[in-house]
Amino acid sequence: MDRVLMCVPNVSEGRDLGVVEQVVAPVREAPGIRVLECSPDPHHNRTVLCYMGEPERVLAVTQELATRAFALIDMARHKGAHPRLGAVDVVPFVPVRGMEMAEAVDIARRFGRFVGNLGVPVYYYEEAATRPERRNLADIRKGEYEGLPARLQDPAWQPDDGPAAFNPRTGALVTGARFPLIALNVNLRTTDLSVAERIAQAVRHSSGGYRFVRAIALPLEDRGLVQVSMNLTDYRRTPIPRVLETVRSEAARYGVAVAGSEIVGPVPMAALEEVVRHYLQAHDFTMEQVIECALLGADPAHAAGSDGAAQGG
């Protein structure tokens, strides 16, 4: 497989798992498609899916998935904690291997045209945006599904594809192409949410932090911790170690230690390469040196040790 495209649709159903499975089925059953994630969230009433494969196949299964979602989900009755604009809320395409960003943009636009022809208003965002004020998902989603009828009357918010008419059943859809982002959560050994809030403020771009960091603070009440929940939107220019070390240093100001961190979902190889280079000070390390050694993983009882010179053999 030479060219690989990833797709991360967010679908507005996270409670009725029967519906979720029907929507996801075309993806699961497609040959050559690898599903990396399928996470229904009842509180958000939303499912985040992530799969990858050959670009044309990814486009085809995503069209099938959208068609099913429009048939099975009625936005007029949707409630959930997460902001949303439609039944298939947002569909980012991410070039993973052997592809240029322009090709991912092209796929996103073809997907948008398909959805528009089904009678659903479509907005293009990030790299596929038609104007600067539509790059940012949060800006497009302002007012949410409930604000759509008014927004579609606004000349500044005419859809990029599909009709400029409110479709109560489907709402609108946002699609586009973007660089792979990394979801990094850092858990802090305190119950004081204001510490996480101050750290989120320190690292995120919108309040003076790193150019490619988005961050919010969350309580983890059942664990007695608070969390700085971050998206790194360009790990090449704002790498994981730099962000984590800043979080550690800001937390230390308040006498708070890092309890642990989580990378949620897929992470690009090159981002980990930088983690290894940074912390090992291994300036020339490359992931091409990595071999898979899954065997022998369970029980190290049989490994040998010997003490000769540190070379050869």
Among the candidate windows 21-29, 69-77, 148-156, 255-263, which touches a second copy by CB under 8 A?
Answer: 255-263
Q: Which is nearer to a second copy, 155 or 308 (CB)?
A: 308
Q: How far is the CB of 40 from a second copy (least distance, A)?
A: 14
- Which residues within the stretch 7-66 sit at the binding site for a second copy (CB under 8 A)? 8, 10, 36, 46, 48, 52
Q: Which is nearer to a second copy, 47 or 170 (CB)?
A: 47
295 lines the binding site for a second copy (CB under 8 A): yes
Query: What sign for the dihedral angle of Cα 219, 223, 228, 232?
Result: negative
DSSP helix/strand/coil, 281 = coil
Q: Give the Å distances, CA to CA, from 70 to 87, 115, 129.
A: 6, 10, 23
Name the active-site residue from 43, 44, 78, 82. Answer: 82
What kind and span of H or E run contains 264? strand 258-264
Does 82 qualify as catalytic in the annotation?
Answer: yes
Binding test (CB under 8 A) with a second copy, winner from 39, 64, 234, 242:
234
DSSP letter, residue 181: P
- Give the contacts of 24 (CB within 8 A, at least 6 positions apart): 35, 38, 47, 49, 65
Contact 180, 214 (CB under 8 A): no
Query: What sign for the dihedral angle of Cα 185, 211, 279, 199?
Result: negative
Among the candidate windows 64-72, 107-115, 151-159, 301-309, which touches a second copy by CB under 8 A?
Answer: 301-309
Binding string, 72-111, against a second copy, x = CB under 8 A? ----------xx-----xx-x--xxxxxxx----------
Distance (Å, whole) CA 24 – CA 19: 9
Beta bridge partners of 54: none
- Give the contacts of 12 (CB within 8 A, at least 6 positions apart): 45, 46, 69, 73, 75, 78, 80, 84, 86, 87, 88, 89, 171
# chain residues binding a second copy, by CB under 8 A: 98
Q: Which is nearer to a second copy, 114 or 212 (CB)?
A: 212
Binding test (CB under 8 A) with a second copy, winner from 20, 23, 172, 230:
230
Among the candidate windows 13-21, 62-70, 111-119, 293-301, which touches a second copy by CB under 8 A?
Answer: 293-301
Distance (Å, whole) CA 151 – CA 129: 18
Distance (Å, whole) CA 251 – CA 262: 17
- Which residues within the stretch 187-226 sit at the binding site for a second copy (CB under 8 A)? 204-206, 211-212, 214-216
- Could you identify the residue written with the tokens 């983890």? 220
- Which residues within the stretch 117-156 sit at the binding site for a second copy (CB under 8 A)? 125-127, 135-139, 141
Among the candidate windows 55-63, 68-76, 112-120, 230-238, which touches a second copy by CB under 8 A?
Answer: 230-238
Q: Which is nearer to a second copy, 19 or 99 (CB)?
A: 99
Binding test (CB under 8 A) with a second copy, winner from 58, 240, 251, 256:
240
Binding test (CB under 8 A) with a second copy, winner from 72, 241, 242, 246:
241
Question: Which residues participate in catalysis according to the annotation?
Answer: 82
